[in-house]
Amino acid sequence: MPKRQDIIRWCNEFLRTAEFHDYAPNGLQVEGREEVRKIVCAVTASQAAIDYAVVQNADMLLVHHGLFWKSEPITITGWKHRRIATLIRHNINMAGYHLPLDAHPELGNNAQLAVRMGWHIEGQAGEQNLLMFGTPEAEADGNALLANLAERLGRQPVSAGDLSRPVRKLAWCTGGAQGFFQQAIDMGADAFVTGEISEAQYHLAQENGVLFVSAGHHATERYGIQALSARLQQEWPLECLFFDEDNPA
């Protein structure tokens, strides 16, 4: 029977967590039972995901967005208390992997989005290799890129910039990575895909002619955690389930 510490140790080593400077802890965040037979994976350690893990009698909740963030108050009150209390009451482990899961060249959110979209990966760049670049499945314009994203992610993207521009070079970073847009422009990308858009990106897109696409923070980050849990099933006799939420953000 796999042990909690063995699974966490394997994830930490495989994702090379020690190499990242993150604003959230990576690895075990809430300790539960020692033996792990069933894992529920989810994008975020929300109350809904925790409740699902309880119903499924899971031994571990494995997520991309954990419970503790540098910018948040450290007090365990309100919603944070309710989430943690539920985990402890039911003796469920909760582990989270943030930037290491974004950047991993095989199982990461960026790499898995490319698999989902049929994009060809040429390399990684930017801070902690969080920006990925390559070419689309087939040369097309921005309208076709948006249509493909909407079809495969099940969410209509928001865009800014020239939709008629041919997309030959593509850059992307899942989640809230709109700050990488200028670097994507400097790299010569025809389009940049991420999860969120802020006010400033509209002007950069309009003035530089590079297409900016916001395809949803949650929608673009559903696949790394599933790939990680699938790899865990290759290592140990585990049952892994994915909990999804209809999160429009």
HEC sequence for 77-120: CHHHHHHHHHHHHCCCEEEECCHHHHHCCCCCHHHHHHHHHCCE
Asked whether the whole model's pTM tops 0.75, one would answer yes
Identify the pLDDT of residue 139: 82
Residue 64 labelled as part of a binding site = yes
Note the pLDDT of residue 41. Answer: 98
Single-letter amino acid code for the residue at 219:
A
The closest alpha carbon to 95, from 39, 174, 21, 48, belongs to 39
CATH topology for 103-218? Answer: 3.40.1390
Asked if the domains at 4-98+221-243 and 103-218 fall in one CATH topology, the answer is: yes
pLDDT at res. 130: 98
Q: Mean pLDDT, consecutive 10-residue segments, the chain of 249 residues?
A: 96 98 97 98 98 98 98 94 98 98 98 98 97 94 97 97 96 98 97 98 97 98 98 97 96
Whether 34 has a binding-site annotation, put simply, is no
Q: CB neighbours of 69 closer than 8 A, spacing ≥ 6?
A: 23, 24
Q: Residue ranges per domain, the chain?
A: 4-98+221-243, 103-218
Residue closest to 177 by CA, chosen among 199, 162, 192 = 192
- Which pLDDT belongs to residue 1? 84
Which single residue is written with the structure tokens 């989640």? Answer: 175
Say if CB 237 and CB 6 are below 8 A apart: no
Angle 49-107-218 (CA atoms, 0-180°, nearest 5)? Answer: 40
- Among residues 215, 219, 189, 221, which one has the least CA distance to residue 204? 189
Determine how many CB atoms are found less than 10 A away from the CB of residue 6: 14
In the block, tokens 């809230």 appear at 176
**Sheet strand arrangement including 158-160:** 120-125, 131-135, 170-172, 191-194, 211-214, 158-160
- 3-class DSSP assignment, residue 168: coil
Query: Is 221 annotated as belonging to a binding site?
Result: yes
CATH superfamily of 4-98+221-243: NIF3 (NGG1p interacting factor 3)-like (3.40.1390.30)
Relative to beta strand 191-194, strand 166-167 is unpaired
Distance, in Å, from the CA atom of 133 to the CA atom of 123, rounded to the nearest integer, reads 6
- Cα separation, 164 vs 143, in Å, equals 7
Residue count (the chain): 249
- How buried is 21 (Cβ within 10 angstroms: 0-12 exposed, 13-18 middle, 19+ buried)? exposed
| DSSP reduced 3-state for 157 | coil
Residue 240 near residue 173, CB atoms below 8 Å: no
